[in-house]
Structure formats: structure tokens, C-alpha cells
Structure 1
Amino acid sequence: MFPQPLMNHKIIQMAYVVRDIRETAKDWQETFGIGPFFLLEDINITDPHYRGKPQAVDFTVAVCQTGDIHVEFIQQNCDSPSCYRDMYAAGEEGFHHVGIIAEDYEKEVTRYTDMGFEVAFSGAMGPMDFCYVDTSSKMGCMVEVLENQPFIIDYFDNLRKASENWDGSNPIRSAAELF
């Protein structure tokens, strides 16, 4: 039996766990000609939970938009258990998750858990709830479910505008420009 469809969600994000976020961004810029990348450091996640238990994790993110795809690199900066370490040990890197924006966040998360998948990490960034659902046993990656909030829509719009107007200058920037 096929699961209930994704309610017209589309995959908007491809994310990778990396060893060196700046080096990876530089490699992608040189190889694919995409940019600029925006760095999010000292990320404040409200109410972070790893596999149902309170657990903070220190990580840095670099993001870029290319066409309709949001590319994200994640560098974990600590030894804490995390959904990133679930797939890649320290020093390893690779594809980690796809991302979707859910109109009805709770309903979408429940849809995944009803299929037997576990929420690997959850929290909030600003006004937006998000989680990683561990679909790796079936899909080879996790899925990040983002709550549809003006906060995240504005973020993606600003990221798209920056990529469309990029002239190659200032290839790695502060994410503060996006908010």
C-alpha cells in the first residue's frame, strides 16, 4: 500500500554533512559556479531534542540557492550525539537529508511517524518548528520538515535573490544578510 501523498510538497533542499564547511563551499563554487554561500554560526535552536531527549548540538551551516534547490552544508562542531552523527562519524561526510516545507507541520510529522519513522531531532529556529525524520533505513537519507512560516519563506526568498544577482564577489557571507 502506498502512503498518503505529500500533499503537494516538493523537495526544496539537499543537505550534506561536511568536514570543512568553508572548503566545501569553495569547492562547490569552483566546480558548479554557484553562490554566494551564507554562513550561519552560533545557531540558537530552541528546545532541542535528539531522539526524544533534550540535547543541544553545536553546528555551523552554509547555504546557497541554485535554481529551485536550496543547498545546505552542515559541520558539527562538537562530539554530542546528533542526527548528523547518526549517519556520519566525525571526519566523514556525505548526503544527509532532503527538506520540505509543510503547510500543516504536525500532520506531516505524524504522517511520517505513522509509517514507522522516528523523529531524530526537533526544535525551533525563531518562530519556526522543524525536525529531522529518520527515513534513512528506507530512503538512504533523512527528511527535514520545516513549518511553513513567513520567517522561512522570507529566508528562502532572500537567498534566491542573492543567488540570482550574484556577480562572483564576496563568495562566503554572513547569513545575517538573509534575515
Structure 2
Amino acid sequence: MLQYPLSAALPGAIRQVGYVVRDLDRALDDWLSLGVGPWYVMRGMSVHVLYRGQPCTITVSIALGNSGDLQVELLQQDDETPSIYTEFLASGREGYQQLAWWVDDLDAAVQAIVGTTGWPVVWSSDDTKSSLRYAYLEPPTGPAHVIEIMERTADTDGFAEMLRAAAAAWDGSQPIRTRTPHVAS
């Protein structure tokens, strides 16, 4: 039987697929044409992170929606500050960038993944400025440019359930719904 040591380190099912886009509105139109929605959009969010170990602040617009139980995230960086997103775009890519897992204990999950794979943490929440905790790890090869691990809280679970329920009940009306920024990746 084949053994996959990484699968033992990754915590359960993939919960989110993330796309980095240059034009959020065009990307939303593309996803809506596939029947995925509604989308909850937060524009102009200031995000404080550690980028390759150094403090960094960027401005992003994010859209979140579900297809069944899978959450889809669209990210457009609104400024030119060097980041994991500008790196991705500068490499000639746009679109699919990340897979995300959600965990109860971020520190333990990241430690287990780093210990198993040696992948570096290249982007992470700044715990002094955000209650949302997450880390992006960078594998040397696919299946994704980065692997995101996000810590679950009552707020993140509630928001995820709201997105899932909205998609399940969506009748095509109000395809774009503006939200006050409070969730950032």
C-alpha cells in the first residue's frame, strides 16, 4: 500500500480553494456564469501579515462563495505592495493559487506540517493585529502554489455556515452581496 506522509499531517478535508485575480469583478462574472453564488464581497480591506517573516500591510478585495460544501475565495490585491499575491501574479500566473484546511489548533497543525514536509511558512496572520489566525505554507511543487491553514473560531464557523446555506438556498437573486470587512485570508 502506498503511504502518503503529508496526508497524515494535513487536517481532514480541503475546505476552500483560493484564486488570485487581477480583476475581481470579471472573476465574479466568470464564476456566476457557472452558477456559483451568491458572492459576499469585501473591498478595500487592510490586512496585516508576516510576509516571509517580515511585517507587511496590503489592501485587498475578497469575494467568498460556496459550491456545495466547498468554499471558493477570490482575492484581488488593490495595491502594489510586495506580497505572496504579487509574487504569484508576477510569475505570470493568475487564478488558482491555494488550497485551505481549517483547524482547531493552528500552531499544532502548522508545526506538524512543517515537521513532516519542511515547507516554509511564507505568509501568516500578524497575531498582534488580527484575531483571524492563518498561515500559508509553500510546497516546492503542486498541487497548489500555497497551502493555507486557518484556525477555526465561532465567528469563522458561523460565516462559513452562512455562506454554505446561502449557496444552498440561492435562487439567482442578489448575486453580489457587500459585506463589512471582518474576514481576511
Give the shorter-chain TM-score range.
0.7 to 0.9
- The residue number in structure 2 matching 1:12 is 15
Question: Normalized against structure 1, the TM-score is what?
Answer: 0.88
> Which residue of 2 is the match for residue 174 of structure 1?
178
2:121 — aligned with what? Answer: 119
User: Where do residues 1-179 of structure 1 align in structure 2 (5 Å cutoff)?
Assistant: 2-3=5-6, 5-6=8-9, 8-30=11-33, 32-46=34-48, 48-89=49-90, 92-114=93-115, 115-123=117-125, 127-176=131-180
Shift in CA distance, 158/140, structure 1 to aligned 2, threshold 3 Å: closer
Q: Would the alpha carbon gap of residues 161 and 25 (structure 1) be closer, same or farther in structure 2, given more than 3 Å must change?
A: same
Letter paired with 2:111: T
CA contact (8 A) 2:50 2:56 kept: yes
Q: Is the 8 A contact 2:19 2:98 kept in 1?
A: yes
- Shift in Å, 1:120: 1.2
Unpaired runs of 5+ in structure 2?
Answer: none
Deviation at 1:140, TM superposition (A): 3.6
SS in 1 for 2:8: coil
How far does the alpha carbon of each residue in 1:13-65 deviate from its partner, in whole angstroms, 9 at most, with x for none? 111111111111111111x111111111232435x110000011111111111
Aligned CA-pair RMSD:
2.4
What is the rounded CA distance, in whole Å, between the counterparts of 2:79 and 2:13 in structure 1? 32
Paired amino acid for 2:121 = V
Structure 1 residues 177 and 56, CA gap change in structure 2 (3 angstroms): closer
Distance (Å, rounded) in 2 between the aligned partners of 1:94 and 1:136: 19
Percentage of matched positions with identical amino acids = 27
